[in-house]
Amino acid sequence: DIVLTQSPDSLTVSLGERATINCKSSQSVLYSSGNKNYLAWYQQKPGQPPKLLIYWASTRESGVPDRFSGSGSGTDFTLTISSLQAEDVAVYYCQQYHRSPRTFGQGTNVEIK
């Protein structure tokens, strides 16, 4: 199985400041023939299902604010929230869909300082 390890487990950031979450994969998730990284990021608020934010490592899902961005390739990826808002308090997960079984990172809890 592909293991995704997120860091940190928890993050406390002031309103308006930048939040950065890392996701490291045990194997490359780059699909070479399409030159796409099969990695997604999700946001989950309490009592809600996860919401897809970013796919192909850096493509923002429709309707997602542009303060959310994804970067990285191969085995190392980053989700950045450029200016943290109160509504961004949530747990964030990375997920790979390059190989079966699909796997998720353990999650990063983002809170306001």
Partner 1 sequence: QVQLQQWGAGLLKPSETLSLTCAVYGGSFSGYYWTWIRQPPGKGLEWIGEINHRGSTDYNPSLKSRVTMSVDTSRNQFSLKLDSVIAADTAVYYCTRGYYYGFDFWGQGALVTVSS
As a whole number of angstroms, the distance between CA 49 and CA 18 comes to 25
Note whether 92 binds partner 1 by CB under 8 A: no
Q: Is 69 in the site for partner 1 (CB under 8 A)?
A: no
- Residue 35 touches partner 1, criterion: CB under 8 A: no
> Is residue 61 part of the contact set for partner 1 (CB under 8 A)?
yes
Q: Are 94 and 41 in contact (CB under 8 A)?
A: yes
Amino acid letter, 99:
R
68 binds partner 1 (CB under 8 A): no
List the one residue from 22, 80, 82, 106 that touches partner 1 (CB under 8 A).
Answer: 106
For partner 1, which residue of 52, 60, 73, 78 counts as binding (CB under 8 A)?
A: 52
Residues whose CB falls within 8 Å of the CB of residue 107, separated by 6 or more in sequence, listed in order: 6, 9, 44, 91, 92, 93
Rounded (10°) CA dihedral 104, 108, 29, 102: 10
46 is a site residue for partner 1 (CB under 8 A): no
Which residues are at the interface with partner 1 (CB under 8 A)? 38, 40, 42, 49-52, 55-56, 59, 61, 93, 95, 97, 100-107
